[in-house]
Amino acid sequence: MSIKEIKDSIWEKLHDKIQQQKIEVKNKKYFVFQNILSMTSGVLFVLLILFCFSSIFFFVSHNNLLLFSHFGLRGWQTLFLAFPWGLLVLTIVLIFLLEFIFKKYQLVYRRPLVYSLGIFLVFTFIFGSIIARTSWHDDLLEQARSRHLPVLGGMYRNFDEPKNLHIGKLREQTEFMWVMQSRRGDLQFVLISANTNFPQGDNFNIGDFLLVSGIKNDGKIEAWGIMPFEPRPFDKAFGGMRQRMK
């Protein structure tokens, strides 16, 4: 069989296969529209990922959650329960979807999955932490407090004070009960006992900011841990109070 006959045979088989599968040849506009749609979706996912990551950083910073490591095993348990795992899972899902959207592009499909995911994670970690350090989330939280944030308001109000975690300004001290004012302005009664842990000492003065961990019952907090609290510079509740104290 000559080379020409081999080529003709291959072409006939390929032509028959195309006819059987009824392959449709798409015009240039289809591919342009597909690329625009992919890029738009990619940008949207990137913005959502940055929002979720920065929200996690803001939540940890807003409540000084890392201080709970000073409370030992019980503190780590409280930190684990208070951490916004839902946001973290959503961020991971969005990253995988972003990977799926861009997998056909040369930058992504020629690299192993772990490399591209690593790049996305580093990118979101850096820029998410930068966004969290600005006043943007504090402004949204302030709108949520005043019920002017309809969609995300509930999430931001949960950021204000997680379960079993209480933050306030010390107003009054007795041997077995302290009174502190919360971010919302209401008074909280903190019960002090022999089991209350003071990792950084119990020498507090009226006007100091406190981070208290304990179960709240009938308006009273049974404190098992108390530490000093440092408000964020943009905290509309404590930031303003701190400025007036100076």
Domains of the chain: 28-154 (no CATH), 164-245 (2.40.50.140)
97 phi/psi in degrees, rounded to 5: -65, -40
Cα distances (Å, whole numbers) of residue 101 to 12, 95, 181: 36, 10, 49
In this prediction, residue 246 carries a pLDDT of 35
CA dihedral sign, ordered 199, 205, 210, 214: positive
Q: Is beta strand 220-228 parallel, antiparallel or unpaired with respect to 187-191?
A: parallel
30 phi/psi in degrees, rounded to 5: -60, -45
Q: What percentage of the chain's residues is helix, strand, coil (to nearest 5)?
A: 55, 15, 30
Instruction: In whole angstroms, give the CA distance from residue 237 to residue 180.
Output: 14
- pLDDT at residue 40 above 90? no
Q: Which two tokens stand for residue 123?
A: 């990118």
What's this model's pTM, rounded to 2 decimal places?
Answer: 0.69
- For residue 90, list its beta bridge partners: none
> Quick count: other Cβ atoms within 10 Å of Cβ 24?
6
- pLDDT at residue 175 above 90? no
Instruction: Tell me the mean pLDDT in the region 164-169.
Output: 86
- pLDDT at residue 185 above 60? yes
Instruction: Tell me the mean pLDDT in the region 98-123.
Output: 67
Cα distances (Å, whole numbers) of residue 189 to 82, 171, 212, 216: 21, 10, 11, 9
